[in-house]
Structure 1
Amino acid sequence: MDEALIRAKIPQDLEKVLGVESQGRYKAEAFTQSFLRKSMQNPTPQDLQRMLSRKAVILGYKRHKKDKSKKNNKKAKGLNARQKRTMKIFQIKPEHQRYELFLPLHQLWRQYIIDLCSGLKPESNPQFVQQKLLKADFHGAIITVVRSKCPSYVGTTGILVQEFKHVFKIITREDRLKVIPKRNSVFAVEINGFISHIYGSKFEQRASERSAKKFKVRGTIDL
């Protein structure tokens, strides 16, 4: 910072534009020396004079560190799997295990599938429908166990009310909650004359994971 520049006055035309008033020589020097004392650690008169004789003074800038703790506190803390089991979040109460209560859900699912398959008309391509159904959400669908390594499951029909990674939970027409393992079972889903078979062993994902998975077409699938 040039000492002559400190003493110089701002031209009158710039004073009006900037809205400031020139300070006198002594006021300007006093302000500059006070500013340098606060900016430097224990400066001597020689240090101040050396700083004033330079052409420019570089003012240091320190960025404030972001407080990461506040950011982390804003994130909502969800329940873990053990807490959900303890609170019985996924359990359906006995008084709610009634087939007729889930019929409106089934009607919504039918309309969802019809819209997903572009109308689901008789002339629709079966492969196109099958590809759509592979990634669809089946909550509300009426499914039937057509094949299983456990004979007692075969013929069981009901509305799918909960889908987990390894099991389907369905409500039967007799108002019973059945838990059917996906592995080693084949399920049939019928809608508007289209019958699709779900091979449970190849369906062991959650509905959210299945929607993003790429399925490979295979000639035969074993239980």
Structure 2
Amino acid sequence: MEEHLVRTPVPQDLVQVLGVKPQSSSRAAAFTEAFLESSVQHAPRHDVKDMLKHKAVILGYGRAKKDRADRNKKKAKGLNACQKRKLKIFQIKPEHQRYELFLPLHDLWRQYITDLCGGLKPSSNPQFVQQKFLKADFHGAIITVVRSRCPSYVGASGILVQEFKHVFKIITKDDKLKVIPKRNSVFSVEINGFVSHIFGSKFEQRASERSAKKFKVKGSIDL
């Protein structure tokens, strides 16, 4: 299809103002074509076959951009220690401080610790049992204070219902909640005829932290 250029002659009233002479249509057409040819840049044509022979073509894909709202979206954070204390989520209500309510938890713990220690047979390796006890979770165990720097704690016994970094909370048989510090206290745990003595200073960690820690057996638990 041929290209046609539209040329409009200069009006007569502008000829005298501009001081130009009107050109013939043929000369005007030649000038216009020459001007366009020199002014317009034509995109170079590439031979596709030649490109494939001499250049590497990388086929890739762009990752979808995330919405700004998703990028700025903050991760949900849990409650801090101060907020937990205000909400009293760690406090056991007086009506729930009953020994018999936690007996099912004790039964579950007995099964858990038996499986963890491979049955707790008389032939069990004491060092193996020691390592298992150091990393075990004691929620539900019946513990008894056998030695303490504070004499009033000695003899206290009950089901462990809460363990914190520095204290044990137990429910006694007379339905009382007692808080026993771990430091400077020695506890005994009886399970299937085995009596283990636990040094509280070795347990001054949260149960989740203790399970991942490597301990060196130095007589901290006596069987």
1:145 aligned partner = 145
User: Is 2:37 the partner of 1:45?
Assistant: no
For normalisation by structure 1, the TM-score amounts to 0.71
Give 1:126 shift. Answer: 1.6
What is the TM-score normalised by the length of structure 2? 0.71
Q: Distance in 2 between matches of 1:68 and 1:142?
A: 54
Q: Which has the greater radius of gyration?
A: 2
- The number of aligned residues is 177
Give the corresponding residue for 1:173. 173
**Alignment RMSD:** 2.9
Q: CA deviation at 1:67?
A: 4.2
Separation (CA, whole Å) in 2 of partners of 1:50 and 1:72: 43
Q: Which residue of 2 aligns with 1:212?
A: 212
> Equivalents in 2 of 1:152, 1:123: separation in Å?
37
Return the alpha-carbon distance in structure 2 between the equivalents of residues 163 and 220 of structure 1.
19
The residue identity in structure 1 corresponding to 2:135 is K
Moved more, 167-176 or 78-87: 78-87
SS of 1:105's equivalent?
helix
* TM-aligned CA distance change 1:124 to 1:65, over 3 Å: same
CA distance in 1 between partners of 2:108 and 2:167 (Å): 22
* SS of residue matched to 2:103: helix
Conserved in 1, the CA contact under 8 Å of 2:198 and 2:220?
no
Unpaired segments of 5 or more residues in structure 2?
3-38, 52-56
Matched residues, percent identical? 78
**Deviation sequence 1:173-197 (CA, Å, 0-9, x none):** 1100000011111111110111111
- By how many angstroms is 1:140 displaced? 0.1
Instruction: Point out where structure 1 has 5 or more consecutive residues left out of the alignment.
Output: 1-24, 27-43
Give runs of aligned pairs for residues 1-223 of structure 1, distance below 5 A.
45-46=40-41, 49-51=42-44, 53-55=45-47, 65-67=65-67, 69-70=69-70, 73=73, 75-218=75-218
Local SS of the residue matching 1:50: coil
Distance change (3 Å), C-alpha of 1:63 and 1:186 = same
CA distance in 2, matches of 1:171, 1:68: 52
Quote the Cα distance in structure 2 between the aligned partners of 1:170 and 1:199. 17
Deviation sequence 1:55-102 (CA, Å, 0-9, x none): 5799xx976543475256374331111111111001000000000110
The runs of at least 4 aligned residues of structure 1 exceeding 3 Å deviation read 53-58, 61-69, 71-76
